[in-house]
Every structure is written in C-alpha cells, then in structure tokens.
Structure 1
C-alpha cells in the first residue's frame, strides 16, 4: 500500500500539523516584540507536538503502508530538534537558529519524497511541494543569515510557520474529501442491490406456474 492511502486514512495528521503550525505562526506574527530566545522556546513546543503527531500517525499506519517510515523519520527529526532546543537553553541563539534551519530543510526534503508518491492518486501534490519548497527556502535563509536582526527573524519564522500550516490544512481537507465515502448515484441501484434483484427474477422464472 502506498504512502497516499496512509495519508488519506490519517488526514488528521496533516490537519493537526497544520493547526499547530498556524498557531505558532500567529503567535510569532502577533507578538513581534517577543525576544528571539522566547520564540525559540515556543518553537521547541511546536516541534515536539508536530513530531509527536507524525510519529503517532506513522506507527498507527505502519502495517501495509510501504512509506510509513518517511512520516516516522519526519517526526523523529522534529522531536529531536524540539528536545535539543528545550533541554539546552544555554545554547547560543545562533546554534538554536541553525537547529531550526536544519530541521526545516530536512522536513522539506521528506515532504518532497511524500509528494512524489502523492501525485498519482489525488493530484494534490503541489500543495505538499509548495510546503516543502517553503520549508527548504526558509531553512536556507536561516542558515545563510543567522545574524539578521531579531525582528526580521521573528517575522520570517512566523510567516514560514503560518504559510506551511495553511498548506497542510488545505492538503488535509483535500485528502479527507478524497477518502470520504461517496453516496450511490441517484436513481441507480446500490452495488449489491442489482445482483440480488437479478437473482430474484431468475428464481421466479424457474418456479412452475400454478395450475
């Protein structure tokens, strides 16, 4: 079974990741005066929650899903980044920004791998590709300009989280809509109704006529 059926069955993984990212992005954009170190502490919570959701979804769908390990790896990377930021607050802001940048790049690459498997089923791979591209570009910017002003970095982190969160929510809705059971067309018999009706007609024809 491919990774897409896993994502369709567990559309809530995408929805939760999106909601967590949107909340984190709104917090960053709504409080531009927050210190960068405080924002990184909030990032630790965000990374831990998003990683835990991904790991739970991967383990829940590991049977029969060939690519469940991609989601598991994504969750482990996110949890690792969150643990590093939470357990080592004495690290310099520069080191923590590097952790955020590397986490974004790895997540983006794994999202691209999932998008490759997504394209043949529901055609919504562009949402995941756009999210992956956003993550990779954000990670490269953080690594290239870690010494940028605190306000610029806060806005950059907030915009990245908000955009990727919205893309994940859109993809979750698409996966849910595609996976939802479709009612039978009006005027048509249910899949099993037609064979049963045909059997009844054949039985009537085989019965001898009453004298």
Structure 2
C-alpha cells in the first residue's frame, strides 16, 4: 500500500485535508457560540467557509493526481464549494429557507462525492472509511435539512455548527491518519 503513488500523494498532502477540517471546526464553534447572529452574517460566514473549503479541496485535487489526472470527485467538491460560496456572496439577502436549501443541496452533493472518493480509494487508502463516514454525515445532514425546513434560525445555526464541527473532526482524523502513515513511509 505504501508503494502506491496515490497513497503517497495523499500522505504528502495531508495538510490540505487537515486545513479543511480545522476551517470546518472553527466555523462550527463560531456558529454555536453566537446563534443569534443575523441571517445576513450567517450567509456571508457560511459563504466564506464554503468558498475556502472549495478552494482548498480544488487545490488538493490538483496536487493529488492519479495517473496524471486530478481526482475528479474532489475537484467537483471543490468547484461546488466555490460556487456555493459565490452564490452566498452575490445574494446575501437569501431567506432562512433559501440558505437552508442551499446548504442542504451542498451537503448532499458533497457527501455523495466524498463517498464516491472513499470507494475509489478503498484499495489505496487504509481507513478510507473516515472519508466515507464524513460523506455519509454530509448526506444525513442534507436530508435532515430538507425534512425540517421550518426550523427556527437559532436551531438551524446550532445544527449547522454541530455538523461543521463533527465533519471537521472527521477530516482532521483522516489527515492525522495520512500524516502518521506518510511519516512511517518517508
């Protein structure tokens, strides 16, 4: 497994995954700490998070090549995050329901793509289930958002914050696993 070029590339670039996780945890903690923030601020903060997460993911996909090709699920997740962030910046007057649907769609698509990436990496990456689990959490979060669109703004902020913290911790765990393995193989 350590001789696999994809595994080596993931190990060398574990910091990008860790940075995504840290950004998610910071966003989640801020959302939980200040649940009464105005919706416009939440839209902008979430937009900044989605844009930065998308940018980091796109950069990671460009750097982690499999046979000279970017890893397409990661590239799509990156583009989706950048697009979602731009939508939030250009339409900050989104309603609570609009933001909820935007986040739900983003979480569902991102989760499905991460599950696809985990399946593709199952023979190259030990404990790929961290990536798959983070994808499953994203899908579950998206479904819950669609199922209860009438939730109050504070509850939505708390759910978003809890999701971001949990998602971020899972990505950090994956990054630490990659770092540990790449250190032993160096």
Distance in 2 (CA, whole Å) between partners of 1:3 and 1:180 is 15
Among 132, 136, 143, the residue aligned to 2:135: 132
Query: Paired residue for 2:169?
Result: 166
Partner of 1:42: 45
Give the direction of change, closer, same or farther, for the CA distance of 1:145–1:28 in structure 2 (3 Å limit): same
C-alpha distance after superposition, 1:68-94 (max 9, x if no partner)? 122111100011111001111133221
Q: Does 1:115 align with 2:107?
A: no
One of 135, 148, 153 as aligned partner of 1:150: 153
Structure 2 distance, partners of 1:64, 1:182, is 20
Tell me, which stretches of 5 or more residues in structure 2 are unaligned? none
Counterpart position of 1:72: 75
User: Which position in structure 2 is the counterpart of 1:88?
Assistant: 91
Q: Which TM-score applies when normalising by structure 1? A: 0.79
Partner of 2:25: 22
In structure 1, how many angstroms separate the alpha carbons of the residues matched to 2:97 and 2:88? 12
Structure index of larger Rg: 1
- The alignment of Structure 1 onto Structure 2 pairs a total of residues equal to 183
Q: Runs of at least 4 residues of structure 1 off by over 6 A?
A: none
Task: Map Cα deviations across residues 107-149 of structure 1 (whole Å, 9 max, x no partner).
Answer: 1011101111332234312211221111111111112212111
Contact residue 108 and residue 135 of structure 1 kept, 8 A: yes
Listed as ranges, the gaps of 5+ residues in structure 1 are 184-211
Between the aligned partners of 1:26 and 1:177, the Cα distance in structure 2 is: 26
**More displaced, 35-44 or 94-103?**
35-44
CA contact (8 A) 1:47 1:79 kept: yes
Deviation, 1:24, is 0.3
The alignment partner of 2:37 has SS state of coil
Partner of 1:194: none
Say which of 6, 10, 17 aligns to 1:7: 10
